[in-house]
Amino acid sequence: MLPELLTAVEQSAVAELLRFWRWAYPLTNAAHILGIALLFGAILPLDLRMLGLWRSVPLPLLARVLVPMAGT
């Protein structure tokens, strides 16, 4: 079952695009890195606030702004 699935993935249009279009892999990789940066960029301030930094900023306000950003 797994070899057939892997063969199907290997022969898919996305795999062909990644193999033959010069910019497909770098753009995919850049999008992946950007997504990780957005995730950690949204989670880190919330975690730091929960640890006691930025006490002047209300936690519910910060969570309302950052949690949807992290989930996207």
5-28 pLDDT, tens digit per residue, is: 999 999 999 999 999 999 999 999
Looking at residue 57, the DSSP 8-state letter turns out to be: S
Residue that the structure tokens 């989670």 belong to: 43
pTM above 0.85, yes or no: no
Q: Which two tokens stand for residue 22?
A: 């010069």
- The pLDDT, as a whole number, for residue 4 is 96
Residue 41 is classified by DSSP as H
| Token pair of 51 as six digits | 């640890």
Share of the chain above pLDDT 70, in %: 99
